[in-house]
Homo-oligomer: A and B are copies of this chain.
């Protein structure tokens, strides 16, 4: 069996309904494999309720369940399971939602799910993730944009692809703002991690990956960063197969 991944930059474009733009792509990816039942991982969604984790995850699970139902897929949330490990072992596919990447990593380590998810996906279980859920599929969470609201056991992540994704990649700062641009932040990352390539994945774009085959899809180019090189733009449809061939030095 082989890896089957859908890694999506963002859930929702500005002004659109929740998951509006990617929902048909997610449905296509899953239904193509005849999967109509998925396990949802809501742990990044801690910010959805001030009432605490359970309430936040209830809200998140319902929101995703409703959208998935529209496209003919049942979604069941892991936070309602007594035995989350068994739920992953039993899942036909897993869907990891966005939110806070540090909280997501913190929970996956705390519940000892990180290795199990990795193993399951490497053994062929389809994986869909957006935003934090795309970031955690990378070697580490070191290219997240999120605030480090909790300290996870490690920054290492699922390592399902050999490069880093920076989701929600954007080209500009708000007008008049003196902070670092996203590109400057990624350049800092490259200096501290010179062997590791980074893809700036703009909103409305995603990767579809089958083992070592990778395609960039969506409506905008990606921006590719490598230490010591000028950034390069690739359009959807361009050959980006080189991304799956990197070996971290």
Contacts and interface: CB of A to CB of B under 8 A. Distances in A.
Interface of A: 10-14, 46-47, 49-50, 52, 56, 99-100, 102-103, 141-151, 154-155, 168, 170, 172-174, 176-180, 184-193, 203, 227-228
A150 B189 CA distance: 8
B185 A146 contact: yes
A178 B189 contact: no
Given A100-B188, A188-B47, A191-B56, A179 B10 contact: yes
A174 B147 CA distance: 18
Given A147-B142, A150-B142, A188 B13 contact: no
B192 A178 contact: no
A50 B228 contact: yes
Interface of A is mostly: loop
Contacts of A190: 50
A105 B13 CA distance: 35
Contact of A144 (B147, B151, B170): B147
Given A151-B154, A168-B178, A178-B203, A46 B10 contact: no
A147 B227 contact: no
Copies in the complex: 2
Nearest to A13: B178
B142 A191 contact: no
Contacts of A176: 14
25 contacts: A10-B178, A10-B179, A14-B176, A46-B191, A47-B191, A50-B190, A50-B191, A50-B227, A99-B188, A100-B192, A142-B149, A142-B150, A147-B188, A147-B189, A149-B188, A149-B191, A149-B192, A149-B193, A150-B192, A168-B177, A170-B177, A170-B179, A172-B174, A173-B174, A174-B174
Given A168-B178, A178-B203, A147 B145 contact: yes
Given A50-B228, A168-B178, A170-B177, A185 B10 contact: no
